[in-house]
Structures are given as structure tokens and as C-alpha cells.
Structure 1
Amino acid sequence: MFGGFFGGLAGGIFSGQYRCFPVSFIDKNEAETGNKIFLPSSALDRLASLHIEYPMLFKVESRSTGRSTHCGVLEFSADEGMAYMPYWMMQNLLIEEGSLVTITSATLPKGTYVKLQPHTKDFLDISNPKAVLEMTLRGFSCLTRGDCICLHYNNKKYYIDITEAKPQDAISVIETDCEVDFAPPLDYVEPQREERPAPAAAPSSSADAAAASSSAQPEETEPEEPKFLAFQGTGRRLDGKAAVGGPPVPVDLSRGGARRPPVPALPADSQAKPSAAGATANGTAGKAKAGKVVFGATGNRLLDKQQASNGAKPPASKPEEAKQEDPKFKAFAGKARSLKD
């Protein structure tokens, strides 16, 4: 019969069968953060007559699936023959809405140790998981080994498995100091360590040493390309003779300019004879033998003086040379004219 209820006294133990529904059916969604259920008021009357110890803890068992868990009670406001519990508890029992469950009173020892294992490594990103866990477990009366509880934090659900509990598989967590340990998340992957290459061994024989030395020798360098040579033509002096000097010097354009070629030293006999130019760098005339003609007006006057001392007349200047002289400027060189003319 739907909604049937069976209760009895068996050595001070409460037991009854109820139709199970999620707490969302009675608009009690806040109860999803714990493991406390809603029972009808008739269950409270029977528990009071049995003198059940507080806090009231119960064992919920599904005979169809053979799974069981433990819980507490939040209110005695459910309809007769019905029990409302969080939906995650129904998922642990593998039951659907309206399934028949057996609820029995239980006495559980206070827990001393519990080990939890998150499903995802996102739980490790919480800044203070201990505080979040303490706040969440306030809605729990007991924990059972093998259950999967749900933690609600920051608008996100975190599923955690209870892998171990002491001193029994089902413990009470009300007013007790319980040690909590965490196992690696189910999707956690151990980072792989990069293996460093082993150092190369030293050569053990003379042949290996020779091979190592031959490999260490530098390769032959390629011949350099010919550089740019400035002024490759032959030089000529003003008198038409070949200029004295060495071959052209290569210029390295990559260094930003040409390099002045070295001035070759003149032979001993040529140092005594001055060049046809006969002028030094400061503009003064160089030393010359008597009877030689040097460029410049000074050289001609010296020659004229030498010839005059010898009794010879200086040669008459050619008319062409006179023409080449620039006429000096003469003021008022024109013919005079009067106003009458």
C-alpha cells in the first residue's frame, strides 16, 4: 500500500518504512547542504516513547538496491508515510522518487579520523578549504564510509568521497574533534620529471683522443674576396715622366674610408736632384743647381742675375709671353675730351 508506515518496538529500536522524495518537493532546498531528513510527526511520538538518545541518528536502507547510509533528522513536518531527504542521498542509495526505504534508529560513536577524496582538482583551488569544510559539515550529523557528499561553495558544487572513517565505518561528527585527511583528487595527474642527459664520458683510448683532437681542429678558411683598389691607373708628373711610387693599396670600405698609401723613400741620387716643380710644402723654393730653370718668377730673376754676372745679356722676352701677362688697371687711361667736342 502506497505511503504505508510500519513502526514497532524491538528492544528500544525505532524502525519504519517510508516513501522517499527529495526535499525540493516541499521547497526546502537549503537542506541539500547537509544529510538531515524530514519525518512525519507520528515518528516523533514513537521516538519519544522509546526514550531515544539525542542527537537522533538513523540508518536509511534501500532493500531494492541493498545500499545504506546514515543521517540525522531536521524536522518532523513531513506528510504521513513519507520522508524527504537531500537528492544526493537518494543518488547514493540509487533510488528514485517514491521508492520505499527502511529507516531505523542508530547509535554511532564520535569520529576521530576521516579521509576525504575530491572528485576534481578544482577543490584544491579554494583559498581556505579547511574553513569551507568546517562550515559545510555543520549541516551533517554523521558520515558513512563509501558515501559521496556534496559541498556547495561559491555557486559551485564539489563532490567528495568518504574513503575512510574511524573508529567505525559510520561516525558521528556532532561536537567532536575529528582529524581530517585528504587524498589526491580523482583527476589529479602526477607531473612528470624531465630527465637530464648524462655527461659525456672522457675518451678511454688514444684513438678516441686522436678522434676528439681531429674533430676539434678548425676547418680551412675560404679565400677572401679581392678588395676594392682605389686609383689603379699609373701616375704621371707634370713633366710627363712616370711618378715614383709603389703599387696601389687596397681599400677596406667596411672600415669607413680609404687608407692613404705609404710614401716610398727616394733613392740617394734622386734626393740630391730636386723635382721639376722645385717647391716645398710651405711654398718656398727648393735647392737647385746653377743654370737650371725652375717654375716661378723668383727662379727667372736668379737666372738673369747669374747671366749678368757672367757678362751675358738676358734673353729678350718673347712677345707671346708679354701678351700672357695680365695688364694692370689704369685709371683715366682714355683720351681727354672737352665740352665743345
Structure 2
Amino acid sequence: MFSRRYYSTPFERTYECYSSSFIDKPELENGDNVIMPPSALDHLASIHTDNPMVFELYNPATQCKTHCGVLEFVAEEGTLYMPYWMMQNMLLQEGDTVQIKSTALSKGTYVKFRPDTMDLFHLSNPKAVLEKTLRSFTCLSTGDCIMISHNNKKYYLDILETKPASSISIIDTDCDIDIALPSNYKEMQGQKLNQEKKFVPFMGKGRKVGENSASQASRNSMMSIKESEFSSKSSTRLNHAPKGFSSFSQDVAEGLPREDSKKATQKVFQPFTGRRYSLRE
């Protein structure tokens, strides 16, 4: 006949810890609960532990400590499964040793969070999202960094302050929530302003790609030289006549005898002078 064992000492055990990836319980990541062996339930039932059950987790190698609840008692003996983000908080690797013991916490009345980025503030109602996701949590401790999931996106939040104690229970209690700006908020705003100042549209002179101010000045100088050369040449030459008419330059006319030069000059077609010319003239 089965008989229940009764324990007079508080529950305290040492287990090898593994993340939720070692057990088919993906919901374990959405909260602060762990999965313990059936023997733990037997012990806890015998000492009449209050519900909800709350536990203290301790990493003897790094002296990191936090608190958690329990989801189920289906783990293999000697094994504890916990959220991966909680293992990161406690600097635990897969298979490391962790100590767990039962404890009691005061009901929380206040908690202040600080997200690591501004992403949480981009939601339409950040506080409502927090209140909903925190229903999967049992307790909170000052100094911890928790992870919440919303619409398949993960948000990491530092716990800056909890009242009335440094660790509190948030089950069946009214708890005020505050959300602080990220610690690097001023730095991010400064970087944003610097990026906006770098680009000023529609300023300065138009230039070709790869052209600097020196090459622009050189090009302007060459243009002015060519313009002066063109004006001096055009002043010593006559305009070309329309197609079908013969034209003589001043240089050619000067090479003829005076009378021939005079006649040649007179026979040069000059448009829009008011005089008429004949092709037989």
C-alpha cells in the first residue's frame, strides 16, 4: 500500500538545470516558472507549502540569485528545466548545478521597468501589454532582466525597483507599473540629431560627380580664356554668308590690288544692309 512521506524540513534541492529547448514546453519561455521532478511535489505537499508556490534560485558558482514559480512536476529526477533568458540572468550553462528552495514573498504594490530599447514605446499601449504578459510571471526581483513576448517579438526589461521589498509576488495583487526610458536614450537622440544635420538638401552649387572646388575653378578659368579668344577672332572676321552666296574674308581682300580689293569688298554680300545685289552683278 502506498504511503506518503512527510518531511519536517523546508524544501531545498540541488539540480542540474537545462533550458526549455531540452523539453517540449515552448510556453516555458513566456514567464518565470520552472519544471521540477515529481519527487519535489511529494516533498512540497508534505510541508503544506502556501499557494502559489514561490522558490529562490541560486547559482553557487557565480552567487547569482533570483526567484521563480513552478509550472509542472514532470522533469526527470535530478533535473530542473527553466527559461533560457533566466539561465542567462544567472550565468548558467546547460547542465550546470543550481540550488532551489521554497520561500515566501510579500505581495507587490509597485514595480518600475526600463526597456533596453525604444521598441516597447512604439506600441499603442505599453502598460496594457505589460499587464497582460506579466500574468505568466509569479514574482519579480530588483536587478533582474526579464523577457516578455508580444506579437512574436521579444522585449527585454530591467527591473529598477520593486515595493514593498526587493523581491515581490505579483499573483493576485494590484501592482502599479512605471516604465522608464532606456539608459542610452539621450545618446540615441544625439545620434539622430547628428544624422539629420549631416544632410541639408538644395544647398551649394551644382557640380559633376567627383569634381572638387579646385577643378571647378580651373574649368571656369579655361572657359573665360576661350571666351576671350573667341571674341578677338570674331572681331577680325566677317560673318559667313547664307548658303549659295560667295563670301570673302577681310584678309583675302587685302591681298588684291587696290581697285580689285575695292571691288571685291563691295561685292561681298552683307545681309540686312538695305542694298540689293544681283547674281549677275
TM-score interval, smaller chain: 0.5 to 0.7
Q: Write the distance in 2 (CA, Å) between the matches of 1:113 and 1:20.
A: 31
Deviation at 1:12, TM superposition (A): 4.4
5 Å matches for 1:137-286?
A: 137-189=134-186
Deviation at 1:51, TM superposition (A): 0.9
Deviation at 1:153, TM superposition (A): 1.3
Deviation at 1:186, TM superposition (A): 2.4
Q: Write the distance in 1 (CA, Å) between the matches of 2:109 and 2:161.
A: 11
Instruction: Specify the SS of the correspondent of 1:133.
Output: helix
Please say if residues 109 and 163 of structure 2, whose CA atoms lie closer than 8 Å, have aligned partners that are also in contact.
Answer: yes
Question: What residue number does 1:104 align with?
Answer: 101
Instruction: Specify the SS of the correspondent of 1:54.
Output: coil
Is the radius of gyration larger for structure 1 or structure 2? Answer: 1
Please say if residues 34 and 71 of structure 2, whose CA atoms lie closer than 8 Å, have aligned partners that are also in contact.
Answer: yes
Instruction: Specify the SS of the correspondent of 2:55.
Output: strand
5 Å matches for 1:47-66?
A: 47-66=44-63
Higher helix share: 2
Question: What residue number does 2:249 align with?
Answer: none
Q: Write the distance in 2 (CA, Å) between the matches of 1:124 and 1:24.
A: 30
Deviation at 1:30, TM superposition (A): 1.4
Please say if residues 112 and 162 of structure 2, whose CA atoms lie closer than 8 Å, have aligned partners that are also in contact.
Answer: yes
Q: Over aligned residues, Cα RMSD in angstroms?
A: 1.7
Instruction: Specify the SS of the correspondent of 1:186.
Output: coil
Letter of the structure 2 residue corresponding to residue 15 of structure 1: E
Q: Write the distance in 2 (CA, Å) between the matches of 1:182 and 1:154.
A: 20
Q: Write the distance in 1 (CA, Å) between the matches of 2:52 and 2:104.
A: 9
Question: What residue number does 1:83 align with?
Answer: 80
Please say if residues 36 and 80 of structure 2, whose CA atoms lie closer than 8 Å, have aligned partners that are also in contact.
Answer: yes
Instruction: Specify the SS of the correspondent of 1:45.
Output: helix
Structure 2: tracts of 5 or more residues without a match: 1-5, 194-281
5 Å matches for 1:290-305?
A: none
- 1:22 paired residue among 19, 22, 28: 19
Please say if residues 127 and 177 of structure 2, whose CA atoms lie closer than 8 Å, have aligned partners that are also in contact.
Answer: no
Please say if residues 121 and 187 of structure 1, whose CA atoms lie closer than 8 Å, have aligned partners that are also in contact.
Answer: no
Please say if residues 59 and 99 of structure 2, whose CA atoms lie closer than 8 Å, have aligned partners that are also in contact.
Answer: yes
Instruction: Specify the SS of the correspondent of 1:91.
Output: helix
Confirm whether residue 32 of structure 1 aligns to residue 29 of structure 2: yes
Instruction: Specify the SS of the correspondent of 1:78.
Output: coil
Letter of the structure 1 residue corresponding to residue 128 of structure 2: A
Runs of 4+ in 1 over 4 A off after TM superposition: none
Deviation at 1:29, TM superposition (A): 1.1
TM-score, normalised to structure 2, is 0.63
Letter of the structure 2 residue corresponding to residue 21 of structure 1: Y
Q: Write the distance in 1 (CA, Å) between the matches of 2:100 and 2:142.
A: 18
Instruction: Specify the SS of the correspondent of 2:121.
Output: helix
Letter of the structure 1 residue corresponding to residue 136 of structure 2: G
Q: Write the distance in 2 (CA, Å) between the matches of 1:155 and 1:75.
A: 24
Question: What residue number does 2:114 align with?
Answer: 117
Deviation at 1:184, TM superposition (A): 1.2
Q: Write the distance in 1 (CA, Å) between the matches of 2:102 and 2:30.
A: 22
**For each residue in 1:157-181, what CA deviation from the matched residue of structure 2 results, as whole angstroms up to 9, or x when unmatched?**
1100001111111000001001111
Letter of the structure 2 residue corresponding to residue 166 of structure 1: K
**For each residue in 1:112-135, what CA deviation from the matched residue of structure 2 results, as whole angstroms up to 9, or x when unmatched?**
111100000111101111221111
Instruction: Specify the SS of the correspondent of 1:47.
Output: helix
Does 1 or 2 have the higher relative contact order (CA < 8 Å, sep 6+)?
2
Q: Write the distance in 2 (CA, Å) between the matches of 1:155 and 1:43.
A: 33
Structure 1: tracts of 5 or more residues without a match: 1-7, 195-341
Q: Write the distance in 2 (CA, Å) between the matches of 1:129 and 1:78.
A: 35
Letter of the structure 2 residue corresponding to residue 187 of structure 1: N
- 1:45 paired residue among 38, 42, 46: 42
Please say if residues 13 and 105 of structure 1, whose CA atoms lie closer than 8 Å, have aligned partners that are also in contact.
Answer: yes
Please say if residues 21 and 85 of structure 1, whose CA atoms lie closer than 8 Å, have aligned partners that are also in contact.
Answer: yes
Aligned-residue sequence identity (percent) comes to 54
Question: What residue number does 1:95 align with?
Answer: 92
